[in-house]
Amino acid sequence: MTSLAGAIPSMLPFIGTLLSFALLPGLAPRLWHRRMVSITLSWVVLGLVLTAVRAGPVAALGGLWVATVGDFLPFIAILMALYTLGGGVLIAGGPWGRPGGNVLLLAIGTVLAGVMGTIGAALLLIHPLLAANGARRERRHLVLAFIILVANAGGALSPLGDPPLLIGFLRGVPFFWPTLHLAWPMLVIAVPVLALTYGIDRRLAAREPVAKSERLHLRGGLNIALLILFVGAITLSGLVPGPMLAVGPARLPAAQVALTLLAAIVTLISERSTAASIRARNRFAWAPMVEIAVLFFAIFATIPPVLHLLQTAPLGRNPALWFWLAGLCSAFLDSAPTYLMFFQAAGGDAARLIIPPARLLTAISAGSVFFGAVTYLGNAPNLMIRAIAARRGVRMPGFFGYCAAAGLVLAPLLIVQTILFFI
């Protein structure tokens, strides 16, 4: 068995990547914004050198090729397409701004996150939510609920919803498996959070200006049509994977290759055809997507030693333990690599992991998704929403203040999930 002490040097590039993204934006923002790519790639190069020393340069380059072509490119292509399409749909007006309307928007966003992804749904709906409540002094409770529901919990309903489930789908988990196994755990989070938000918002709204109701306008019809087409293609690719194709050392299902190409085409069409006014109203920018792409490239390139260590670790098969281990790692290490680590530790064979009752895979999936809202680091949209809210004048809590608030709301609900589904 590989000892932890012996494995630490090979894990340093992965740990360094995560710590860089977690700490440098706050501790050295100017350095980070100027040198993000070079800092991240330095960890990838270090991992490549360590692997070359241990297994030889051919194995190191082959492993990097497989991680890039087999894992990273299909994953980031789908995320980018959903991000671009979501940023090309504009929702203006509507009943938001009052307690009932705000909760309705949160509920719609929770469902929509499972269809178009947490990133796409968050970018689509955070602007109308904040704009409709722009005259109010206290909006932090709405942003907190938005992060919990739209940026995290709602993504549990499909592989389109959250990056961890997308990784599972690309590794053989059926498309509708999350819908069947995570819908009830999602409701355990969503229903109490919606009820709590309504109670808090109603009390605060009694002392605040009442928003004027405006007629609902929806723009971006082409992006909506492309989104429906793309969602259908993702579903079909899981049902009919096709033969395996060799792309150098990497082997991919033909449907996955076709889906990656379609994602690139859809992204290009959306970017070329969407009105600049829609992008401007949504405050769409490529910078967050670039940062996510750089992060996940480094993660996929440096994570193999961590996966190997987890595969040899004696974790047992207790679903409750896996739920909390995967969840706590997800809260601080980002949900997508957490899912990948524990999926591989559980055997990495989707055909076996989905055999009913599939409690171990359910625990890994639920932990990776629902703990993502515990910190700003748990899921990619969290930091994006915080930045957008801050630009719109919302005094967002710092890292530890947010953890305390989110933990106060989520801890009892996560304990209920454990009792109901994993014991």
How far apart are the C-alpha atoms of 26 and 387, rounded to whole Å?
Answer: 12
Are 373 and 332 contacting, i.e. CB atoms less than 8 angstroms apart?
Answer: no
2 band by pLDDT with thresholds 50, 70 and 90: very low
Mean pLDDT of the chain: 87
So what's the pLDDT on residue 6? Answer: 56
pLDDT interval class at 1 (50, 70, 90):
very low
CB 335 within 8 A of CB 369: yes
Other beta carbons within 10 Å of 166 = 24
- Could you report the per-residue pLDDT of 155-173, keeping only the tens digit for each? 999 888 888 898 898 888 9
Query: Is 80 exceeded by the pLDDT of residue 349?
Result: yes
- Residues 154/312, Cβ–Cβ less than 8 Å: no
pLDDT at 27 over 70: yes
Give the side-chain half-sphere CA count within 13 A for 65. Answer: 13
Across the range 193-198, mean pLDDT stands at 97
What is the reported pLDDT for 154? 94
Cβ atoms of 117 and 80 closer than 8 Å: no
The pLDDT assigned to 163 comes to 80
Mean pLDDT of 375-379: 83
pTM higher than 0.85, yes or no? no
The pLDDT, as a whole number, for residue 68 is 92
pLDDT range class, residue 417, cuts 50, 70, 90: very high
> Looking at the predicted structure, is the pLDDT value of residue 206 above 80?
yes
Average pLDDT over residues 2-29: 77
SS3 33: helix
Going from the C-alpha of 51 to that of each of 7, 37, 347, the distances in angstroms are 12, 21, 23
User: Tell me, what DSSP letter sits at residue 149?
Assistant: H
Tell me which of 316 and 252 has the higher pLDDT.
Answer: 252
List, for residues 101-114, the tens digit of each pLDDT value: 999 999 999 999 98
What is the SS3 assignment for 252? Answer: strand
What's the pLDDT at 167?
Answer: 85
**Predicted pLDDT at 95:** 82
**What is the reported pLDDT for 64?**
92
Nearest-5° Cα angle at 154, 188 to 396: 95
DSSP structure class, residue 153? G
Q: Say whether pLDDT at 145 is over 70.
A: yes
Q: Does residue 345 carry a pLDDT above 70?
A: yes
Q: What tens digit of pLDDT does each residue of 305-339 get?
A: 877 776 676 777 899 999 999 999 888 776 877 88
**Domain boundary assignment for the chain:** 4-422
Give the per-residue pLDDT at 311: 65
